Structure 1
Amino acid sequence: MHISSKLIRDMKHGSEEAFNTIYEHYHKLIYYIVIQYVKNSEVAKDLTQDAFIKMYNAVRSNEEPRNFHPWFVTLTKNIVFDHFRRNRLNQYDINSEKTLAEFPDPSYQAAPGVISFQSLSPLEKQILDYKIVFNLTFKEIADTTGMTLSVVTKIYYGMLEKLRIEMGGNTI
């Protein structure tokens, strides 16, 4: 779903329905972005709520972003970075909860024909999550990551080829 400028204007003028529509469209993605960094579900819930509050307040105070999706993703990442700066956290808790992007430990050996994802870089895993888990288009992934559309598609299809080879040439 594309967030239209009309929907943003409606939210700006106090429409609860417009805010709810935006929330329903973005709450999983925003939570996922936050949990990628903080690795703690309670903190992630709080920061996700902070992201929606800050987005709402920014839009209400005359900031109408032209490209809502990348703007909101950047706003969310800045909230996370501010959280780390405030708390002077430089390392992640090693006992943190697992997230969607975490894959088996490096000593794990998948059975033949099973995808282990060990050969994927963090960027490839992120693009895979955006495409498969959040069903984003290549354009939306490019906007979110700040990469060009051609770079995103090249990484995605290169990753699929890498996984195909990992599976012994079987179709993914």
Structure 2
Amino acid sequence: MNTATVLSSKPKEQLTENGINRADRSELATFLSKALADTFLLNVKTLNFHWNVMGPLFYSLHKLTEEQYRDLTDAIDVIAERIRALGFVAPGSLTKFAELTDIIEESGTPSAENMINQLADDNERCARSLRVAVAAAEEIEDVKTADLLTDRIGQHEENAWMLRAIVSS
């Protein structure tokens, strides 16, 4: 095979015989694509706040958001690879992510308290959205996708709890 042929390969849907019919895999890929978009945008937002947080809690917030964005970065790859394992092309553009996500981008310079509240709200939003996807995965007995997303729910809930604990009175 020559180099031109190899380099002309494009991502496409792949035939997958994993015991889940194509329509169900397609539905799961749609749920996973939304999860991917939400995770990507939450990662960008967490990075933004990590870089720009100010105030007396700077060090602890800087460290906490670093832990969270690192986890989100890892999750992005895992979710995208699950979409591919189901046989579909993972979305990978800001335009497509913006179409799919419910996460609201922050382009201003909010206070540290507002940053914390936004991240907590967004983590809870992700957890709620993932519950719907887990139910769909469980219904068709896709234990791998259900397990992956259940794990993500737990992480988002923990993130929200840690963030809320900082601003509680």
* Structure that is richer in helix per residue: 2
Which of 1 and 2 has higher RCO (CA within 8 Å, sep 6+)?
Answer: 2
**TM score, norm. by length of structure 1:** 0.33
- The two structures have a TM-score, normalised by structure 2, of 0.33
